[in-house]
Structure 1
Amino acid sequence: MEVSGVYHAYRRRPVLRGVNLRLREGALVGIVGENGAGKTTLLEILSGELRADRGTVRHHGRFGYCPQAAVLNDALTVRQHLEFLRAAYDLPHLRRAEEVMDQLHFREYDQQRVGTLSGGTRQKLNLTLALMHDPHVLLLDEPYQGFDWETYGRFWDLAALLRQEGRSVLVVSHLAYDTARLDELWRLEGGLLRPAQEVRVA
């Protein structure tokens, strides 16, 4: 994924002031920033959900997007969500989704209605839906919110496996945890991305 000169403003308030980013194949990259820094706006532009005022975003291959607010229907079961997206993606089977469910340890919730699930389990489903079509690039907005410590560890194991498979993973969060697991860490500040180690400490 290549991002060049992305600008965006809400009315007269600039949020992104020329963001540049190149997400390499097989890279695990983090972006951190304070609340209101524009992280979700950036991800919405990268995913095509929002149009930038200026700049370009180029994807090479399939991408998956895991938004911070899961778009789930409380009346449907976990399996019904998977079947719905299987049809939307025109997938022949749910093998990839079931592999992710096994890695995150929530296969037993297959027939439960989403409205009965805990926040952490809903987030597991959110992540599974983003991965079930086996994307080359994965965009994750606060992906481990609601996870307990054990699931948090499984998330990073899954991210490392995706990197080994040559997938590119972008993790966006307001806090920088486990930075040693990342190949690159950037901070979104003042509408620009800067290498985290070069950011001025207040």
Structure 2
Amino acid sequence: MEVMDVHHAYRRRAVLRGVDLRLRAGTLCGIVGENGAGKSTLLKILSGEQSPTRGSVRHSGRLGYCPQRVVLNDALTVRQHLMFFQAAYRVADLRYAQEVMEVLGFSGYADERAGVLSGGTRQKLNVTLALMHDPQVLLLDEPYQGFDWDTYQRFWELAGRLRDAGRSVLVVSHLAYDTERLDELWRLDSGVLCAGAAGVTA
């Protein structure tokens, strides 16, 4: 993915001020920034959900996007969500989704309705839905919110597997946890993306 001179404003309030970013294949990268710094706006633009005021975003291959806000139908089971997204993504089978569920440790919840799941388990489903079509570029907005310590470790194991498989993985968070796991780290401050933070050299 290549991002060039991306600007965005809500009326007169500038949120992004010329963001440049390049995600290489086989890298695990992070963006950190305070709440309100424009991280979610940037991810919406990178995912194509929102158009920038100015600038361009280019990527090749399949794109996966896990938004911060979990968008699930409380009346549907985990399995029904997977089947719905299987049809939407035109995926032949659910084997890869089941592998992701196994890594995240919630395979036993397949027949539970989303409405009765804990916040952490709902987030596991959120991540699985973003991953189940095996995207080349994966954008994750606060992906481990609500995770317990074991699931948090499982998440980073999964992220490492994706990187080793040649995927581009971008994790966005307001806190710089476990930065030693990242290949590159940027800080979003006042709408400007600065390379290198918290001991990681981009």
Q: Deviations over 1:56-96 (max 9, x none)?
A: 00011101000000110000000000000101111110011
Distance in 2, matches of 1:161 and 1:91, equals: 21
SS at the partner of 2:158?
helix
* Deviation (angstroms), 1:25: 0.3
Aligned to 2:105: 105
**Distance across 1 between alignment mates of 2:176 and 2:198:** 15
Aligned counterpart, 1:118? 118
SS of aligned partner of 1:128:
helix
TM-score, normalised relative to structure 1: 0.97
State the 4+ residue runs in structure 1 displaced beyond 2 angstroms: 196-199
Matched letter for residue 121 of structure 1:
T
Aligned counterparts of 2:198 and 2:155: Cα–Cα separation in 1: 28
Which aligned pairs between 1:123-134 and structure 2 lie closer than 5 A?
A: 123-134=123-134
Query: SS in structure 2 opposite 1:7?
Result: strand
Aligned to 2:62: 62
After superposition, the Cα gap between the structure-2 partners of 1:115 and 1:58, relative to the gap in structure 1 and judged at 3 Å, is same
Give, as a single letter, the amino acid of the residue that structure 2 aligns with 1:147: F
Residue number in structure 1 paired with 2:189? 189
Q: Quick one: distance in 1 between partners of 2:125 and 2:10?
A: 31
Answer whether contact 2:186 2:195 (CA < 8 A) is retained.
yes
**Pair 1:142 & 2:151 matched:** no
Tell me the secondary structure at the aligned position of residue 152 of structure 1. helix
* TM-score of the pair, normalised by structure 2: 0.97
2: CA distance between counterparts of 1:183 and 1:120? 26
Residue number in structure 1 paired with 2:88 = 88
Alpha-carbon contact 2:176-2:198 (below 8 Å) kept: no
Stretches of structure 1 that go unaligned for 5 or more consecutive residues are: none
How far apart in 2 are the matches of 1:148 and 1:190? 31
Mapped to 2, the partners of 1:183 and 1:105 lie a distance apart of 26
